[in-house]
């Protein structure tokens, strides 16, 4: 063995090793380019968006449901509020003619607002009282056979009818409480 041959071999091997390290990795390994994943699609949305949508729908249904129910009872609420005002005015001044006139106007306005105009606007006298009775649920009192006569005849009378006035107030309140829910009191 020659002493000088060995370092030559080691030098060549070291040189090959340096060349091997310096060569690009692609030539040595069969690697392919990095592929990025597809872009995130907007559909289907994440669960959080579904929850927000569900909460929004529930809130909208609640809002419109409550609004519908409030509008549905608007005529009845307005008519009963007006009735309470008329009754308190009567209790303050005991003017029977003003009370009967106000009740007659209130009943007419409530009827026209809650029912078709063609059905009730042109009625007067007994036909008006009979129509009011038809709208009233079964009751002991009626407009045509009870205190309702005050609505058509009292303005021409000078007598006082305290008992009949009280019955008329009860009957009017009962009639207003059964109003169908629709629209706004005109």
d(CA 121, CA 158) in angstroms, rounded, equals 28
152 phi-psi bin (left φ>0, alpha ψ -120 to 50, beta other) = alpha
pLDDT score of 9 more than 60: no
The answer to whether residue 135 sits within a structural domain is: yes
pLDDT for position 26: 45
The answer to whether residue 17 sits within a structural domain is: no
User: What domain count does the chain have?
Assistant: 1
pLDDT score of 23 more than 70: no
The answer to whether residue 31 sits within a structural domain is: no
When mean pLDDT is compared over 21-25, 45-49, 81-85, the highest value belongs to: 81-85
User: What is the residue range of 88's domain?
Assistant: 73-177
The answer to whether residue 124 sits within a structural domain is: yes
The answer to whether residue 9 sits within a structural domain is: no
The answer to whether residue 32 sits within a structural domain is: no
pLDDT tens profile 149-175: 898 888 777 777 778 899 999 999 999
Residues in the chain: 186
The answer to whether residue 42 sits within a structural domain is: no
The answer to whether residue 107 sits within a structural domain is: yes
């Amino acid at each position: 063995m020659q002493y000088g041959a060995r370092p030559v071999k080691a030098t060549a091997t070291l040189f090959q090793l340096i060349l091997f390290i310096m060569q690009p990795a692609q030539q040595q390994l069969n690697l392919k380019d990095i592929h990025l994943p597809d872009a995130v699609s907007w559909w289907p949305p994440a669960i959080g968006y579904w929850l927000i949508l569900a909460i929004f729908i529930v809130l909208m249904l609640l809002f419109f449901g409550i609004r519908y129910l409030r509008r549905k009872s608007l005529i009845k609420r307005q008519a009963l509020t007006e009735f309470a005002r008329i009754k308190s005015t009567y209790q303050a001044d005991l003017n029977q003619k003003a009370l009967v006139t106000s009740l007659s106007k209130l009943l007419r306005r409530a009827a026209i607002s809650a029912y078709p105009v063609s059905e009730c606007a042109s009625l007067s006298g007994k036909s008006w009282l009979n129509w009011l009775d038809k709208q009233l649920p079964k009751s002991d009192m009626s407009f045509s056979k009870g205190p309702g006569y005050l609505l058509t005849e009292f303005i021409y009378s000078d007598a006082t009818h305290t008992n009949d006035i009280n019955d008329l107030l009860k009957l009017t309140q009962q009639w207003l409480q059964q109003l169908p829910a629709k629209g706004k009191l005109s």
